[in-house]
A and B are shown apart, each in its own frame.
Chain A
């Protein structure tokens, strides 16, 4: 182990962390080389002579400058590009990094393509202390409410919005973190290699950083270190083993890369067992929860939903036509109708997920369509989706914890400082989430991945997740679909007990028996229009409803195979 190898493992790991910072939020960015370049060059240009200021103060000052500049560059790049996803974001950020490199090559103060001479200050100890600090940051970030929100965005952005997470802000802050860490890397690199050249931050560098982060895996904070150790050490190990230089070494290195990625989904980090949030043995039943954020409550009878002339057109198709709908606090309203009647479109508009074509929507003081989805959720709307939108790679408990986002206090900064309050807050939220899981009968499945649950369990988990936010209005979109009789009956009881607690519920369901049993009032949609509204007893007698379901003489054959029970 030469000194340079020891330093490069640490520096590369820091660079890999700058990719990890955004990968955990599901963003693929290649701009980190650009952040590192502007950070490194600015810091090297502004730092005083070590002879005048002393080595360590010089480096500390340079690090501060580099990180701030890196973070600022990330803001500048992030603001116009945060609406891009996946490969598009990767290429836009890559274009930025290349543009930065070309500007640096053509600038006077950087020494152009020849580079800039920088004093060597970084020692192995300094490099590893910096790495330890960065790793500590991400270790504490992971299980905080902020870290969970990022994971939720990675898994399913729309569901994250519906849980009240401000996706744009979270994505930007992950991006800025990446910028600061990359800036740190740029500074450390500059003050180690003596000669800083724009070519050090070329496309290949960015690819190396991404490769290290992905090979290491983004499921654990140790991932970047593992990836850097692996990729930095492989050529050295080969040299030590006397493997022929030239083509064999790059060949073996590439082969190992391929093997790791194909046979170890989740990277080297997946070899380390994941630490899952656990339910404390005694906490599950206890009546804690005093440290949760209070949600505003609506008074009994107050208007929760008010829709006037709601319309939604898709091209020439009128999915929803001139619908008026009122839901008062404490009501359980059923929304039924044949497939394609516009039920899901209507609740999508009410929860703000789909903007209406026209009409006025007021929900808990917000105007969905104009108000962002997460703001509607924060106002007290919580929902499940017709096709489950769980966070598949998070455990059942973690899914519910994300659901509790709007009631949990931010803990990340306090976790960094090990303040005891953060731990108590976390425990309270976990206990709250465990109660929600228990309520839907999934307490014993808390540690399982959401994707490994059975279909019926996934539907119940979605309800638990929706409940965890302590909503004023709960929207359930076909919760009983795919459930058997026994499951549907217990779901029916659950909805009944929620209603008795005063929760306002909007229920879409094809299981008409269940709707009749649980709802105070039923609204029937057909072809996007309200054809009937009333109590269950009135609805079941309504000729228009019977015609819609069974088909009248002039309506031709029945379009629907659902049974009316």
Chain B
């Protein structure tokens, strides 16, 4: 039971991170590899807000989301918009976002140095409670609740609101969306802001969960984020949620039953099998090839 819950906590963070990835992919058909840098930046900024600014972690989280949104706008503007309409935009977007991500990490290095940072220990609530015989901290419970609420909110936004409709229209056909009076650039920028805000919250929560932030934490989760969106189906929001939970649970149980050194093999083995058997993922729909 304890393992199951640990898997759920970990998986919900993976899902929150991956949902930002998949949101951009679903709409633009591009992978934003600066996303992991936002994840890391958010952790450091969150720690600074709490440790230096003396804010409570619950106040710091929305601020971190704001920082993430601003970073998202910058990423869209600098690394993606200039590539619009280029035939090689697929590869070029990967590289330009890697470049921008590298710049963000270098700036973090400048401001925070290469060492691991931690939240002050008194920042966390200390109560724990028991769920079906397993021990859960308030923080862990909050992680799960925040992740699920954010993901549900995003799903609602995409499915129900005017903005969400515009996003889906851009995903379907940007040119047609323009003709219908949708400001494609603005919708795209908003998508990036949303995606990065979620990635930022994931980063801050992740740092709280393990109480440490490192410059390399983004690249460590990057691969898992990619695995999650493949498993769930590229561009599918519920898929990212299920994929994240599946991966989190698989990892926790792999550590327990097979050994920690084989943990990642389980994830990638699953990923590989799934891609070969069902490339569109669990929840993705196969695109019809056009003639």
Contact = CB atoms under 8 A, between A and B. Distances in A.
A92 interface: yes
Given A257-B98, A258-B78, A265-B92, A91 B291 contact: no
Interface string B10-22: 0000000000000
Contact of B100 (A99, A207, A254, A392): A254
Interface in B117-163: none
A255 interface: yes
Interface residues of B, number: 46
A84 B100 contact: no
B31 interface: yes
A215 B91 CA distance: 10
A527 interface: no
B127 to A, nearest CB: 38
B83 A262 contact: yes
B261 A106 contact: yes
A393 interface: yes
A526 interface: no
B91 A84 contact: no
B230 A88 contact: yes
Interface string A383-402: 00100000011000000000
Interface string A76-87: 000011011011
Given A246-B109, A257-B99, A103 B219 contact: no
Nearest to B229: A91
A210 interface: yes
Given A87-B234, A254-B99, A254-B100, A106 B275 contact: no
Contact of B87 (A87, A215, A250, A393): A393
Nearest to B37: A254
Given A87-B25, A99-B272, A102-B265, A265 B86 contact: yes
A472 to B, nearest CB: 22
B205 interface: no
A95 B247 CA distance: 14
A203 interface: yes
B92 A254 contact: no
A348 B234 CA distance: 29
Given A102-B262, A250-B109, A258-B100, A92 B289 contact: no
Nearest to B280: A88
Contacts of A255: 99, 103
Given A94-B226, A250-B102, A392-B87, A257 B95 contact: yes
Contacts of B234: 87-88
Contact of A88 (B107, B223, B279): B279
Contacts of B208: none
A400 B5 CA distance: 62
Contact of B91 (A204, A214, A262, A353): A214
A99 B98 contact: no
B257 interface: no
A115 interface: no
Given A87-B25, A91-B230, A102-B262, A214 B95 contact: yes
Given A86-B90, A203-B223, A250 B105 contact: yes
A106 B262 contact: yes
Contacts of A235: none
B227 interface: yes
B82 interface: yes
B87 A83 contact: no
Interface in B62-97: 78-79, 82-83, 86-88, 90-92, 94-96
A450 to B, nearest CB: 12
Interface residues of A, number: 50
A102 B261 contact: yes
A96 B272 contact: yes
Contacts of A214: 91-92, 94-95
A95 B272 CA distance: 6
Contacts of A105: 261
B289 A158 contact: yes
A99 B268 contact: yes
A261 B96 contact: yes
Contacts of B87: 392-393
B103 A258 contact: yes
Contact of B264 (A28, A98, A248): A98
Contact of B265 (A103, A215, A265, A344): A103
Nearest to B104: A254
B176 to A, nearest CB: 16
Contacts of A23: 91
Interface in A207-252: 207, 210-211, 214-215, 246-248, 250-251
A494 interface: no
A261 B271 CA distance: 30
Interface string A365-394: 000000000000000000001000000110
Contacts of A28: 90-91, 94
Interface string A358-369: 000000000000
A247 B96 CA distance: 19
Contact of A247 (B95, B109, B269): B109
A148 B138 CA distance: 62
A106 B271 CA distance: 20
B219 A203 contact: yes
A354 B269 contact: no
B63 to A, nearest CB: 24
A211 B94 CA distance: 9
Contacts of A203: 219, 222-223
B88 A265 contact: yes
A253 interface: yes
B107 A247 contact: yes
A95 B219 CA distance: 14
A260 to B, nearest CB: 8
A469 B79 CA distance: 42
Given A95-B271, A254-B103, A247 B88 contact: no
Contacts of B269: 95, 99
Interface string B267-290: 011011001100100000000010
Contacts of B78: 258
Given A251-B103, A392-B87, A87 B31 contact: yes
Contacts of A83: 279
A532 B34 CA distance: 60
18 contacts: A87-B25, A87-B234, A92-B272, A92-B276, A98-B264, A105-B261, A106-B261, A106-B265, A203-B222, A210-B95, A246-B109, A247-B110, A248-B106, A251-B103, A258-B100, A262-B82, A262-B83, A344-B291
Given A28-B90, A99-B268, A214-B92, 11 more contacts: A99-B272, A105-B261, A158-B289, A158-B291, A210-B95, A247-B109, A250-B102, A254-B102, A254-B106, A262-B96, A392-B87
